[in-house]
């Protein structure tokens, strides 16, 4: 979900720096080869070859650790391997018919293995690695630690997107929601074997859900229970998931649709396969979900009424680690809260100027934005036609930005992006918009998901900015470029560093404005500012909930009054922050850091500053912790200044 990312060795970790290092080594090797005619040169070459062999050994050892990290994670997360379209070789097993095991024993083994790999990677202090190889080592050490979770907490589960997610049962994510969705959207069925693999997964839903039941029970025994409102939302999801007749369930309909495109299976065999899927949904999938629903209902009375992670055992320590992992920050919660309040004040003042210019003068910024949300001219009809018109507009915005951004982005991703509405069974708890990545081979595009549960939550003035965030030049552009960096270890190509990824997507919204998208669209610019305000408010309410002990109602009231966003969106957002502590911090903190680095480069380089080159620098190094991004930018600035003609 959301969920990439110049010219000398001084450019720490940049792709261009890596290429020049490689080219330089090749030229040096050629020179050394021509000198092997004399005995002295032969001795020198032998010595150099020994050094080269040692280097290759160091790099090889690290490469093996990177491969083990990938296989360790994805052997336990087979459906995420399906999401990315990974090869059998890269996972280390045939996984297309495998399900995931979230039992306490299996989760403990996964975390222990990943943490050990992180320590092994970090402890490899070989001095013969290039700067790019050292950076990769550091990133991979951080990344495996991210996936291992905080070793002080054995609750929740490991998510391939968010690392340690604290509540395995909730209203918005988790294996009970994500696994069936990945099967529907991402599991390829191109022949009968693929169809049988799909059905094999359906046959294992009882074991799959049983592991989640065991994990939920273990967490409850430790006193670690999601807030009641989130568990109520999960129960609503279970009811929605099991509401259709088995023959009409999305898991069946998805298989049926995929089989329609397969020409080498006889029609009667297709019907047999669909019938098998129906039986398994009825006899395996539904009973399993009904069991987890009953278990969830049984713990409602134990669930805390409080909304923040502070109410969980040792929850304040959990939140500080979440700030570090998901906010990529060493700041305290109070410091982040104050940054949020400052940004709310600044953005609200900008919005006020625009509103006054358009004749909206009465009431707070939030009240005036809420009134805009009631005007018919900004709303799509709550109908099939209205939804189709909305989707068509989103596609037109992608085409518009693709044309506008050509001058500011040198390198384009090789993957396509597609707009889709969220499936009905998950839209109640889902975000307003979301992005999922393409498959590695490009057979499945990146998907920009839009939530159409409440058409009033999608006013026309807000959708350009959302599109630029989720598609181009935001999530799709960054994630697809990251996935295309084949010289990187696989985990680095899909690195989900939250502050970088969400910070880039929010930065992308501003870039669209700088490209002149809103010159004749003041209300669209208001929508952009409202979206940025929304992210500033996240700093306030996330820290409010999890550190300052705000109630859910207090957080909803503040966000609604401040932003004027649709109440349904605000409620869904606050419920999301309650189960994803720290995740909402990455947007504004990441954006502020990227803007800070851009301003620094522009100030120091003056007329030599090239924004397109800056974007390539930020993107082609992949998703990375912000301290490494800062080092990359500093090295780039130094290299540009060192090559300045004025110097000579």
Domain boundaries, the chain: 35-159, 168-225+228-303, 319-588
More confident residue, 35 or 50: 50
pLDDT digits (tens, 9 = 90+) for 155-194: 999 999 999 999 999 999 999 999 999 999 999 999 999 9
Contact, 495 vs 21, CB < 8 A? Answer: no
Best CA proximity match to 122, nearest among 137, 106, 107, 102: 137
Q: What is the pLDDT of residue 396?
A: 97
Pairwise CA distance, residues 406 & 374, whole Å: 36
Whether 8 has a pLDDT exceeding 70, the answer reads: no
Q: Residue 426 — very low, low, confident or very high, per pLDDT cuts 50/70/90?
A: confident
Whether 45 has a pLDDT exceeding 60, the answer reads: no
Q: Residue 279 — very low, low, confident or very high, per pLDDT cuts 50/70/90?
A: very high
Q: What is the pLDDT of residue 157?
A: 98
DSSP state of 443: S
Residue 375: in which H helix or E strand, if any?
none
Lowest mean per-residue pLDDT among 8-12, 177-181, 606-610: 8-12
Contact, 145 vs 111, CB < 8 A? Answer: no
Best CA proximity match to 170, nearest among 105, 252, 234: 234
Q: What is the dihedral of CA 100, 103, 105, 108, to 10 degrees?
A: 70
What would the mean pLDDT of 324-351 be, rounded to a whole number? 97
Residue 189: in which H helix or E strand, if any?
none
pLDDT digits (tens, 9 = 90+) for 22-34: 333 333 333 333 3
Contacts of 57 (CB under 8 A, 6+ apart): none
DSSP state of 300: G
Pairwise CA distance, residues 70 & 485, whole Å: 16
DSSP state of 164: E
Contact, 135 vs 98, CB < 8 A? Answer: no
This prediction has a pTM of: 0.88
pLDDT digits (tens, 9 = 90+) for 93-124: 999 999 999 999 999 999 999 999 999 999 99
Best CA proximity match to 585, nearest among 535, 520, 641, 638: 535
Best CA proximity match to 431, nearest among 587, 249, 310, 571: 571
Return the number of other C-beta atoms located less than 10 Å from residue 267's C-beta: 8
Contacts of 253 (CB under 8 A, 6+ apart): none
Residue 597: in which H helix or E strand, if any?
helix 586-605
Helices (H) and strands (E) in the chain, counts: 27, 5
Q: Give me 380's structure tokens.
A: 């799509």
* Ordered DSSP codes for 51-96: HHHHHHHHHHHHHHHHHHHHHHHHHH-HHHHHHHT--HHHHTS--T
Whether 237 has a pLDDT exceeding 70, the answer reads: yes
Q: What is the pLDDT of residue 56?
A: 67
Q: What is the pLDDT of residue 488?
A: 94
Q: What is the pLDDT of residue 59?
A: 87
Whether 512 has a pLDDT exceeding 70, the answer reads: yes
């Amino acid at each position: 979900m959301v969920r990439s990312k110049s010219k000398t060795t001084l450019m720490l970790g940049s792709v261009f720096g890596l290429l020049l290092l490689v080219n330089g080594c090749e030229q040096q090797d050629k020179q050394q080869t021509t000198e092997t005619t004399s005995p002295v040169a032969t001795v020198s070459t032998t010595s150099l070859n020994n050094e080269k062999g040692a280097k290759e050994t160091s790099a090889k050892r690290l490469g093996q650790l990177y491969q083990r990290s990938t296989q360790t994670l994805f052997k336990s997360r087979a459906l995420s391997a399906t999401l990315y379209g990974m090869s059998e070789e890269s996972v280390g097993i045939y996984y297309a018919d495998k399900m995931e095991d979230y039992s306490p024993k299996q989760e403990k083994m996964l975390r222990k293995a990943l943490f050990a790999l992180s320590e092994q990677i970090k402890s490899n202090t070989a001095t013969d690695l290039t700067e790019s190889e050292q950076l990769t080592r550091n990133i991979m050490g951080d990344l495996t630690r991210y996936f291992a979770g905080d070793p002080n907490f054995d609750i929740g589960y490991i998510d391939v997107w968010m690392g340690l997610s604290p509540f395995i049962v909730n209203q918005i994510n988790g294996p009970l929601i994500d696994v069936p969705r990945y099967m529907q959207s991402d599991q390829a069925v191109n022949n009968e074997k693929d169809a049988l693999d799909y059905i094999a997964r359906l046959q294992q839903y009882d074991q799959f859900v049983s592991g989640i039941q065991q994990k939920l029970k273990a967490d409850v025994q430790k006193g670690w229970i999601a807030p009641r409102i989130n568990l109520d939302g999960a129960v609503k999801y279970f009811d929605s998931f099991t509401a259709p007749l088995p023959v009409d369930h999305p898991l069946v309909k998805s298989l049926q649709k995929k089989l329609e495109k397969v020409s080498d299976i006889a029609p009667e065999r297709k019907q047999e396969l669909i019938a098998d899927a129906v039986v398994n949904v009825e006899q395996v999938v539904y009973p399993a979900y009904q069991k987890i629903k009953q278990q969830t209902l049984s713990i409602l009375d134990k669930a805390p009424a409080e909304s923040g992670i502070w109410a969980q055992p040792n929850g304040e320590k959990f939140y500080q680690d979440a700030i570090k992992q998901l906010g990529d920050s060493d700041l305290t919660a109070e410091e982040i809260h104050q940054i949020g309040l400052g940004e709310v004040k600044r953005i609200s003042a900008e919005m006020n100027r625009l509103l006054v210019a358009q004749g909206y003068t009465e009431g707070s910024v939030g009240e005036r934005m809420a009134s805009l949300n009631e005007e018919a001219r900004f709303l799509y009809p709550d109908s099939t036609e209205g939804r189709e018109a909305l989707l068509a507009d989103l596609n037109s915005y992608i085409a518009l930005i693709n044309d506008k951004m050509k001058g500011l982005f040198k390198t384009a991703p090789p993957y396509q992006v597609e707009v889709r509405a969220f499936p009905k069974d998950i839209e109640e708890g889902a975000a307003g918009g979301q992005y999922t990545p393409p498959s590695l081979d490009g057979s499945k595009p990146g998907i920009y998901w839009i939530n159409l549960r409440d058409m009033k939550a999608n006013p026309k003035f807000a959708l350009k900015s959302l599109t630029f965030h989720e598609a181009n030049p935001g999530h799709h552009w960054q994630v697809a470029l990251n996935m295309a960096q084949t010289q990187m270890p696989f985990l680095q190509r899909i690195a989900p560093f939250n502050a970088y990824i969400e910070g880039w997507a929010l930065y992308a919204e501003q870039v669209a404005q700088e490209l002149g998208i809103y010159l004749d669209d003041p209300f669209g610019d208001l929508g952009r500012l409202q979206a940025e305000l929304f992210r500033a408010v996240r700093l306030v309410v996330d820290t409010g909930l999890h550190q300052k002990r705000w109630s859910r109602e207090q957080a909803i009231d503040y966000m609604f009054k401040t932003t004027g966003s649709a109440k349904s969106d605000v409620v869904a957002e606050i419920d999301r922050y309650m189960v994803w502590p720290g995740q909402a911090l990455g947007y504004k903190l990441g954006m502020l850091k990227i803007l800070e680095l851009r301003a620094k480069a522009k100030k120091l380089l003056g007329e030599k500053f090239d924004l397109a080159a800056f974007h390539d620098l930020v993107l082609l190094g992949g998703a990375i912790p912000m301290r490494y991004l800062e080092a990359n930018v500093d090295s780039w600035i130094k290299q540009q200044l060192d090559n300045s003609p004025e110097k000579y």
